[in-house]
């Protein structure tokens, strides 16, 4: 069950409100790199967690933290919209420069939300919940989470560069820090479970007889003119310790030429196809 | 530039066509765990790759392989739809059991595609390209790829269990194998770049002064009644070697109580708010 | 800031797990009538609330409650999926009735989530955040909330009818009760602000000179053959007390015939259009 | 059955075409507050209306009116795009101010629609029909409609403020007026059916034994530090006259700690979870 | 402006209500082959029509007809849902065959719409307005329309085969007929404008100097092992009469190897990329 | 099976990088008129092709070509983003004109993709795969393809007009040329199959007894005040040679007034409806 306290997790200060930056910040709320995504992803993973209960607890605790991030980012968006023009009089609409700057704002911050945050990204596209990745497999889920936090910290770093407002930089430095931790938190679970050697291939419970193992350890060079890019993935022991990496570069289809034959009667195809 | 040869990458055989399994297989084509996703994700990452060119080449080569996976899975769906009823006469509609089984099929396989594959998942929801994760940061992208392949292998393993068609099991064992390799391929890039110790935190180019480092290494216990779930993430050296993990469990908001004050005139709010 | 306690807000018990009912329950999580919607809607309204701060506090408190509803519903879905077939052996796939019943389940509960809840509706369509209605106008928002809770209680009542599991009926009776309260909670705000007479028309701050008041109080009968359906909306004082309702049934366009003339050169239209 | 007459319902005049305002106006066509939504919502409600037929007739008549609103708004968008640059020569692209202003336009008005309206909102996001709310319950539907018209009038008022074109202001004053009426029209149905006292809780046909009535009339304070915001919703008779409002502020979970136990074999989870 | 008469354009009769067929019929309402699409597509094309006004008039008249098709199909869906189970008692839920048949129905017809039509397709996916194709180019638009009507008639023919209800067959035979006409209606516009020879290439107003004409008339064989499929498109005069078709089958990239070089500082990429 | 060669199909050169044009170009990648659409559409049509195998081969070869178009357009977007500001220092943020111009860029090109292409349109809306039209009927599919290429060439022509970069104009002139050919390629299939006279109505395999032929050849004038727009579609032989076109302009509904009667008990409607 959830509870709330009335103060924000972190202080939010905006020295110079900026409607364009409000639009940019939306990416951290409703973007695929944003906080709605991680809050909901960790919550759904927690609700489906099977196995050692401590992972479920950890997921739910961090889901709860991410909800608090949505909250203070939402406040940051609203503060950046303070003073945005609500009428063409204020806007000094005949000043083409002012008008142009407003052209870079999200019109829905004025028209739809009344100068506050929305669950959309920086293009105004609403977040959709298909981005909540939760497979029930703890290794797959931990990777999804580490990935989400990596995307999140990339985004926060870019936002940090795109503002010179001291308050916003301070808030973003906090987000950058928490994303640092969360990346490691999820990867630490994999380390605790034995690292890649034990976790891979995910799922590590798939019986070997379900796998055509002769195809499991080669890099396939599908290029007609480019040599194989050599690296850790083309030779040496596989990360799961089961085999050696190799390369296949004379690519040869192993299957048939597909042929579905004629269409059946009553298939609403053209007569010529039947 | 792309080229094509007329045979499939892998042989596809369906011994007992099954329209319900055709619907299930769609998840591997148009699901977030599916092949359109990885093909397009690797292609867009390749197109945006900066730095050592061998990673771009590798990405494009594997993108090309995944396109071939779409192709043979599409053939598998069509073969599973062979013989599906096209009229109520064939369907023996008055046999409630037959009718019920068709209730488990995707109606659009009959109504829309004419008994062939569609770019949708097993619920019939079209794939949407917001799932193409490509940040330009190679570590974030490699994690996104390892994650995608983990989800893919979880899915292929589940599909393997949900059919007893020998041909389908054979094809899925090939997919399971390639997903094994691709998981390691992307993680091997991170290992080659120095492993987590050098890659973390992602992005590793963010200047330390942009980060509120005092918040970078603690687990935040947001629970009111649950002890901190202890593990690799609560103590010991951080995975990036920069610090030690710790725990904060007396959670205290650090921010203000948010207050936006009154609404401005002309904001189309209620008078009482202004 | 948010916090969590480890127990569910309400006890969840499933006596007879039912994968079809698990699919139905998803509507209450990820449907437009569901709990993600209200949790996020109230939270975004709170973050944008201007005017008397008590409404913001109330919104956030109820948002917090709705998060707890997502949590116990998610548990209910997982419990209904206990024992669902994971392999065709278990499934006794050759029994067409069993197979048919599984045809009515959501395949992604097996393939994607590993027998747990997802943020999707009963058709498997992911929730999308465009359904978070938050205008910044308190009356419009309260109506959106009352509407959401009405849809929610309609849904919960229908779900109640569609199960005979005693545990599920008990849980749904709690949801029905809370939806009862929440409908009234939001409407009570309007009553407190003076009722419809003062709240209407929303926004009540629009200056009268911005409104073509001669068009503000008549019902327009656009039917060619049907008499005006008479009722409270066709005569008597308007609900805002500003005027009297009336009817217009000789419908006459008041505008021009639209005509955009010829297309301009360089418009990539056909030559014949230019 | 529908018919059409060639003139617009209302005169549309644009004195100073403005491509940015064309983008803004799209919100009134393809936004969730827009005319496609209400036209289709009333039409689908009419098609599913059961009970007194006059409500169905009323819904269809107003659906028809809203179709006419789409039509004249579409014309308004096209007129605002008259003269928008189609080539960089016209655009005087080297004038950065002109270029910047065009940056605030919707590129698809130039690239995709050929200077005319599209069924998208002011961010260019296509309208999606999940926003057509129609439950078959007349009270829930009337609230959905009153809510839609409230959002619509908030939007129209904000658009009015964001233009100083006399023609556009005139057209918007008509929309503001019709939204005034339509808000009251739908609420008048509820009044005619006995007002909130009889309509609540929606649905009013749910048997009381399906409802855990001990949870139906209290406000739940989920805050750890904030006193209950007192108001009409915390004391006094409930709006449905069935009970008294009260408050619960020592929040205590009533449910169990959720625990799904171990994952089953063949679930494609990690071995450690099974 | 639109008007309505109270009777349906065509008689709708359902002899044996069938909830599964109700789900199938949704494809004709909210599918990409359905009536919402054509109604809205023709309406938006009409609103953007430039050039000879008779085409705009024709588009709006047919848009109006398609609105009437939505209306009678909506009634057909509701009639097919008459008698669908609303409670598990009615449903005789312990009869697994009955339960299985309901598994093939759309749960939202019971849970969300109250036994009536929704603006969704046969998978329950809401129609989204991005499918309204309207370019402002009359030839492109006529092709989009002919295509939509072709898809529509394919669908109606398949639906006809999937029911043996005499009333439904009668209604579908009307839709098949109207789709016959509408296909020709739109193609007749192209014929009237001079046929393909004058219409192609679309747009026919693009100056020849904007086109690399040496690439305009050859079929590119991108296959490594398959001979060119010969046909009308590989030799003989081009359909626009401007040239002769030919074939290129020694495929050779004409461009450079793409190379974006190193990532810039401050790009939040990994250090190794910079 | 697919293969790749390392060079682009066509040379891409950007003389003056332009972030606004990068946003515009996205329409040609991830718009409904773009290359992802045609690549995937032709590929899915090929995978479902039944009848003469040469059409399948042709579809797959052209799908392969379109994949190459995605690739070089992706490179063009990245080149247009070279030098875009990554920090407010570079951006000279205090210069309002520079800031305004950046307001016209896609923020996600900076925040999300790291200055490279994304699978989104010029509004930043991700491509969704519901736009892959593939019915299994060759005539319907050829029309869908000709339509897609018409939209594509309209778009390319407009993009050509909106840039004065010589490199971009050169690349677009190649796309314009290939779209010229592809339009004709698909229409040539219809010509080869006997032209409209044999192809229409699509599907040409629908038995005449499934069609209410008395409704198959008239134009329905649904306008109350506008004369029938006369043209090739109102008189003369039908394009399929089966009949003569005619006109119906006294529009009379042929169906009943719809009436669903009362709502059933347990339908969660209001009591007044039951």
Q: Are C251 and E4 in contact (CB under 8 A)?
A: no
List, as ranges, residues 146-175 from A with C-beta within 8 Å of C: none
Share of chain F above pLDDT 70, in %: 96
- Say what the pLDDT of residue F219 is: 97
- Say what the pLDDT of residue A92 is: 56
- Say what the pLDDT of residue D234 is: 97
Q: Nearest-CA residue of chain C relative to A111? A: C135
Q: Nearest-CA residue of chain A relative to C138? A: A114
Angle at A236 between CA B205 and CA B53, to 5 degrees: 40
**Strand-pair partners of F219:** F247
Chains that touch B (3 or more CB pairs under 8 A): A, C, D, E, F
Chain B within 8 Å of E20 (Cβ-Cβ)?
Answer: yes
- Say what the pLDDT of residue C250 is: 77
Is A2 close to C75, i.e. CB distance below 8 A?
Answer: no
Rounded to a whole number of angstroms, the distance from the CA of F205 to the nearest CA of chain D is 31
Of A2, A43, A114, the CB nearest to C137: A114
User: Is F57 one of the annotated binding-site residues?
Assistant: yes
Q: Is the pLDDT of residue D97 over 70?
A: no
Output Rg (C-alpha) for chain B, integer angstroms: 25
Question: For residue range F145-203, what is the model confidence (pLDDT) as tens digits?
Answer: 999 999 999 999 999 999 999 999 999 999 999 999 999 999 999 999 999 999 999 99
Q: Are E61 and F226 in contact (CB under 8 A)?
A: yes
Q: Nearest-CA residue of chain F relative to C270? A: F154
List, as ranges, residues 245-274 from A with C-beta within 8 Å of E: 266-268
User: Is C69 one of the annotated binding-site residues?
Assistant: yes
Cβ-Cβ contacts under 8 Å between A and D: the total is 146
- Say what the pLDDT of residue E135 is: 98
Is F222 close to D4, i.e. CB distance below 8 A?
Answer: yes
Instruction: Return the SS3 of D119.
Output: coil
According to DSSP, the β-strands at F218-220 and F2-4 are unpaired
Q: What is the dihedral of CA E219, E223, E229, E231, to 10 degrees?
A: -10
Residues in chain E: 274
Of A157, A161, A268, the CB nearest to E154: A268
Is C67 close to A71, i.e. CB distance below 8 A?
Answer: no
C145/E58 Cα distance (integer angstroms): 43
- Quote the strand ranges of chain B, DSSP E: 2-4, 218-220, 246-248
- Say what the pLDDT of residue C252 is: 86
Splitting chain E (274 residues) into consecutive groups of 10 residues, what average pLDDT does each group show? Answer: 97 95 98 98 98 97 98 98 86 64 90 98 98 98 98 98 96 98 98 96 97 97 96 97 94 92 95 95
The phi and psi torsions of C247 (rounded to 5 degrees) equal -130, 140
Question: For residue range F58-110, what is the model confidence (pLDDT) as tens digits?
Answer: 999 999 999 999 999 999 999 999 989 899 876 555 566 667 677 889 999 99
Q: State the average pLDDT over residues D191-201.
A: 96
Instruction: Return the SS3 of F29.
Output: helix
**pLDDT category, C93, cuts 50, 70, 90?**
low
E144/E148 Cα distance (integer angstroms): 6
- Average pLDDT over chain F reads 95
Chains that touch F (3 or more CB pairs under 8 A): A, B, C, D, E
Which portions of chain A are predicted below pLDDT 50? none
- Say what the pLDDT of residue A101 is: 72
Chain B within 8 Å of A232 (Cβ-Cβ)?
Answer: yes
Q: Nearest-CA residue of chain E relative to D135? A: E113
Instruction: Return the SS3 of D186.
Output: helix
Instruction: Return the SS3 of A274.
Output: coil
- Average pLDDT over chain C reads 95
Q: State the average pLDDT over residues B197-201.
A: 97
- The phi-psi region of residue F266 (left if phi > 0; otherwise alpha if psi is between -120 and 50; otherwise beta) is left
Q: Which residues have a Cβ under 8 Å from the Cβ of F86 and sit 6 or more positions away?
A: A158, A161, A162, E264, E265, E266, E267, F110, F115
Contacts with E98 from chain B: Cβ below 8 Å: 96
- Say what the pLDDT of residue B96 is: 67
Q: Are C81 and C106 in contact (CB under 8 A)?
A: no
Q: Which alpha helices (DSSP H) does B133-259 contain, by range?
A: 138-161, 166-192, 195-199
Cβ-Cβ contacts under 8 Å between B and D: the total is 15
Residue F42 structure tokens? 């032709």
Rounded to a whole number of angstroms, the distance from the CA of A148 to the nearest CA of chain E is 15
A132/A154 Cα distance (integer angstroms): 19
b (16+ CB within 10 A) / e for D68-97: bbbbbbbbbbbbbbeebbbbbeebebeebb
- Say what the pLDDT of residue E94 is: 57
Q: Is the pLDDT of residue C274 over 90?
A: yes
Chain D within 8 Å of E3 (Cβ-Cβ)?
Answer: yes
Question: For residue range D12-34, what is the model confidence (pLDDT) as tens digits?
Answer: 999 999 999 999 999 999 999 99
Q: Are B222 and A64 in contact (CB under 8 A)?
A: yes
Rounded to a whole number of angstroms, the distance from the CA of F45 to the nearest CA of chain A is 12
Question: For residue range B22-71, what is the model confidence (pLDDT) as tens digits?
Answer: 999 999 999 999 999 999 999 999 999 999 999 999 999 999 999 999 99
- Say what the pLDDT of residue D124 is: 98
Q: State the average pLDDT over residues B141-169.
A: 97
Cis amide prior to B235 (ω within 30 degrees)? no
The phi and psi torsions of A184 (rounded to 5 degrees) equal -75, -35
Chains that touch A (3 or more CB pairs under 8 A): B, C, D, E, F
Q: What is the dihedral of CA E46, E47, E52, E57, to 10 degrees?
A: 50
Q: Nearest-CA residue of chain E relative to A268? A: E154
- Say what the pLDDT of residue C92 is: 56
Q: Nearest-CA residue of chain B relative to D253? A: B225
Q: Which of A39, A170, A176, A214 to mutate to test the interface with B (most CBs of B within 10 A)?
A: A176
Contacts with B150 from chain A: Cβ below 8 Å: 135, 137, 139-140, 143-144, 202-203
b (16+ CB within 10 A) / e for C108-120: bbbbbbbbbbbbb
Question: For residue range F214-256, what is the model confidence (pLDDT) as tens digits?
Answer: 999 999 999 999 999 999 999 999 999 999 999 999 778 999 9
User: Is F109 one of the annotated binding-site residues?
Assistant: no
**pLDDT category, D88, cuts 50, 70, 90?**
confident
Closest of B62, B97, C119, D224 to residue A40, by C-alpha: C119
Instruction: Return the SS3 of E148.
Output: helix
Question: For residue range E81-130, what is the model confidence (pLDDT) as tens digits?
Answer: 998 989 887 655 556 666 777 788 999 999 999 999 999 999 999 999 99
Q: State the average pLDDT over residues B2-9.
A: 97
Q: Is the pLDDT of residue F24 over 60?
A: yes
The phi and psi torsions of D247 (rounded to 5 degrees) equal -130, 140
**pLDDT category, C266, cuts 50, 70, 90?**
very high
A227/C50 Cα distance (integer angstroms): 63
User: Is C35 one of the annotated binding-site residues?
Assistant: yes
Q: Are D126 and D120 in contact (CB under 8 A)?
A: yes
Q: What is the dihedral of CA E240, E242, E244, E248, to 10 degrees?
A: -90
Half-sphere exposure of D41 (CA within 13 A, CB side): 28
H or E segment to which residue F2 belongs: strand F2-4
Q: Which of C60, C111, C134, C204 to mutate to test the interface with B (most CBs of B within 10 A)?
A: C111
Q: Which residues have a Cβ under 8 Å from the Cβ of A78 and sit 6 or more positions away?
A: A115, A116, A117, B260, C47, C48
Question: For residue range A91-145, what is the model confidence (pLDDT) as tens digits?
Answer: 555 566 667 777 889 999 999 999 999 999 999 999 999 999 999 999 999 999 9
User: Is A225 one of the annotated binding-site residues?
Assistant: no
B1/C194 Cα distance (integer angstroms): 68
């Amino acid at each position: 069950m959830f509870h709330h306290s009335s103060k924000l997790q972190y202080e939010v200060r905006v020295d110079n409100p900026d409607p364009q930056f409000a639009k940019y910040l939306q990416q951290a709320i409703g973007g695929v790199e944003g906080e709605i995504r991680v809050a909901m992803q960790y919550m759904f993973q927690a609700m489906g967690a099977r196995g050692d209960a401590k992972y479920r607890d950890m997921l739910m605790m961090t889901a709860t933290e991410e909800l608090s991030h949505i909250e203070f980012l939402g406040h940051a968006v609203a503060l950046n919209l303070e003073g945005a023009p609500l009428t063409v009089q204020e806007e000094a609409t005949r000043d083409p420069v002012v008008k142009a700057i407003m052209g870079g704002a999200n019109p829905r911050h004025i028209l739809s939300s009344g100068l506050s945050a929305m669950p959309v990204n920086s293009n105004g596209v609403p977040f959709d919940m298909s981005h909540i990745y939760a497979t029930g497999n703890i290794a797959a889920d931990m990777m999804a989470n580490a990935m989400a936090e990596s995307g999140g910290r990339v985004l926060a770093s870019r936002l940090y560069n795109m503002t010179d407002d001291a308050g916003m930089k301070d808030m973003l430095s906090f987000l950058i820090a928490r994303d640092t931790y969360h990346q490691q938190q999820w990867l630490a679970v994999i380390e605790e479970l034995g690292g890649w050697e034990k976790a891979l291939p995910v799922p590590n419970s798939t019986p070997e007889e379900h796998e055509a193992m002769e195809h499991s350890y080669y890099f396939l060079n599908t290029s007609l003119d480019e040599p194989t890019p050599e690296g850790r993935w083309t030779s040496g022991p596989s990360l799961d310790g089961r085999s050696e990496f190799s390369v296949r570069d004379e690519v040869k289809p192993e299957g048939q030429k597909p042929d579905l034959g004629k269409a059946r009667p009553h298939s609403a195809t053209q007569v010529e196809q039947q």
